[in-house]
Amino acid sequence: MPHIVVKLWPGRNEEIKRNLAKKLADLVAEELKIYIGDVSVAIEEIDRSDWGKQVYKKEIKDSSNIYVKPNYEYK
């Protein structure tokens, strides 16, 4: 508890992804005042051509769980 999933386009190297995951885990543990060992972070790469269908329409567009909304739209 908690588990964070970051979905992004392919192209970042492993070092960048590890650094991002570590920074997110540190921030979440600090903000929630929990032990860092209780935080997990996954990174899923989604092809640009699949983003609209697999991520935007399915998880972002009409979701009430999005606290920071993107400034783009897929039709």
pLDDT digits (tens, 9 = 90+) for 14-72: 999 999 999 999 999 999 999 999 999 999 999 999 999 999 999 999 999 999 999 99
Give, in degrees to the nearest 5, the angle at Cα 27 between 15 and 23. Answer: 5
Under the banding of pLDDT at 50, 70 and 90, the label for residue 75 is confident
Q: Is the pTM of this model over 0.85?
A: yes
pLDDT at residue 66, rounded to an integer: 95
List, in order, residues 6 or more apart from 3 with CB less than 8 Å away. Answer: 39, 40, 41, 42
Residues 22 and 11: their CA atoms lie apart, in Å, by 19
Q: Are 42 and 3 in contact (CB under 8 A)?
A: yes
What is the Cα Rg of the chain in Å? 14
